[in-house]
Amino acid sequence: MSAPLADAALDQLFREARSYNAWLDRDVSDAQIHAIYELMKMGPTSANQQPARLVWCKSPEAKARLAAHAMDKNQPKIAGAPVCVIVGMDLEFHEQLPWLFPHADARSWFLKDELRQANAFRNSSLQGAYLMLAARALGLDCGPMSGFDNAAVDAEFFADQPSVRSNFICAIGYGDPASIFGRSPRPGFDVFNRIL
Amino acid sequence: MSAPLADAALDQLFREARSYNAWLDRDVSDAQIHAIYELMKMGPTSANQQPARLVWCKSPEAKARLAAHAMDKNQPKIAGAPVCVIVGMDLEFHEQLPWLFPHADARSWFLKDELRQANAFRNSSLQGAYLMLAARALGLDCGPMSGFDNAAVDAEFFADQPSVRSNFICAIGYGDPASIFGRSPRPGFDVFNRIL
């Protein structure tokens, strides 16, 4: 049982955080990348599947390889970011469950392809959200994108891991306030919620 | 540009948070449900899709209706929670984009069924993660579950919204520390990460 976080923390995580399109000239260190993962991996996934497979494109070469497969308007967002992470998902995540979920035979729960695919997509998306909120919690900004050629990115970065597919990508760094637009409208509670 | 949150906040959000299986006898108010949504709706979705459609089962009757379609072991987790939310997704979310993303014709980007389905699934899952971290940020605990009959839940709760499908469900309340197991192992950085 915990108290609510302070308003400044809620602002940093949710209320004042924005998706940035350009980045200040300030590095993101390998230590910061590790720190993001150390937090995100604690977030819940079904049967501790941990299906996310992460490729952190940090060198100019890696960012150029990724940007080449993105929509035109996303290319500078990738190339100009300190790091852009590919959130992939392992469709054969169940092969890791004997050590990730050792107290039951969870591998046997996910033998059907369709069920496994839905679980990989759902849970790697959850992990992508944990990643973004972890980055924000550590004082960084995010710029998530799904406008890229998934099959081409898979061929470029996951050729040696044929069971892995890209889900989405996310630039991370210190956002340039000049690069954001006015915030899009948010729905009132009653629009998309019912309490029964 | 922000500083990292205090360690106590990182603990509350990620490091010491757990998925609970049973709940203390303490109510979650409608005001708390609204507060969760006010935070979660600020999280990024592609083109501000906001595809999540939320049904908060709070009355004993609503929880019983939901529990009836869950796996046996999940039924008491639902019935015993102060509230259990169904995170649904609107496969026709693009019809809302003229007001959610007013500065471009975003509706026209999502006319293909397969693309729309993937976007609804990805982005409603992101929103489900924002929901869980918002609840934790507000001092609450979560118990996410995907072990239920999606088609039966859709028929039970979304019969009047035929474009909405259930994604996952999540019990929310004040977790009973006696109901959790030892934490499942978490991977070291090098297992599922590469820095290029």
Write the pLDDT tens digit of every residue in B25-83. 999 999 999 999 999 999 999 999 999 999 999 999 999 999 999 999 999 999 999 99
Q: What is the mean pLDDT of residues B87-114?
A: 97
Is the CB of residue A1 less than 8 Å from the CB of residue B139? Answer: yes
3-state secondary structure of A14: helix
Pick the residue of B25, B89, B93, B192 with the most A CBs within 10 A to test the interface with A by mutation.
Answer: B192
Gap between the Cα atoms of A142 and A169, Å rounded: 10
C-alpha B144 chain-centroid distance: 7
Q: Which residue has the tokens 């399109």?
A: A21
Q: Which residue has the tokens 């709070």?
A: B58
pLDDT the model gives residue A1: 63
In chain B, the residue whose alpha carbon lies closest to the alpha carbon of A57 is B196
In chain B, the residue whose alpha carbon lies closest to the alpha carbon of A9 is B5
Q: Do B17 and A100 touch (CB under 8 A)?
A: no
Gap between the Cα atoms of B93 and B48, Å rounded: 10
Residues 90-149 (A) with a CB less than 8 A from some CB of B? 99-103, 118-119, 121-123, 125-130, 132-134, 136-139, 141-142, 144, 146
Q: Count other C-beta atoms under 10 Å from residue A142's C-beta.
A: 23
- Ranges of beta strands (E only) in chain A are 52-57, 83-90, 141-145, 164-173, 193-195
Facing residue for A125 by CB, picked from B102, B126, B195: B126
Residues 56-95 (B) with a CB less than 8 A from some CB of A? 56-59, 61-62
User: Helices A113-137 & A30-40, crossing angle to 10 degrees?
Assistant: 120
User: Helices A150-157 & A60-67, crossing angle to 10 degrees?
Assistant: 150
Is the CB of residue B171 less than 8 Å from the CB of residue A27? Answer: no
Q: What angle do CA B124, B130, B133 make, to 5 degrees?
A: 145
pLDDT the model gives residue A181: 85
Chain A closest-CA separation from residue B77 CA (Å)? 15
Per DSSP bridges, beta strands B52-57 and A193-195 are: parallel
Contacts of A43 in chain B (CB under 8 A): 14, 129, 132-133
Contacts of B102 in chain A (CB under 8 A): 184-185
Structure tokens, B83:
């509230």
Gap between the Cα atoms of B166 and A37, Å rounded: 29
B189 CB burial (10 A radius; 0-12, 13-18, 19+): middle
Q: What ipTM is given for this predicted complex?
A: 0.98
Q: Do B196 and A14 touch (CB under 8 A)?
A: no
Chain A closest-CA separation from residue B24 CA (Å)? 10
Write the pLDDT tens digit of every residue in A155-194. 999 999 999 999 999 999 999 999 998 899 999 999 999 9
- For all residues of chain A together, what is the average pLDDT? 97
pLDDT the model gives residue B1: 63
DSSP summary character for residue B184: P
Quick check: B141 pLDDT over 90? yes
Write the pLDDT tens digit of every residue in A129-154. 999 999 999 999 999 999 999 999 99
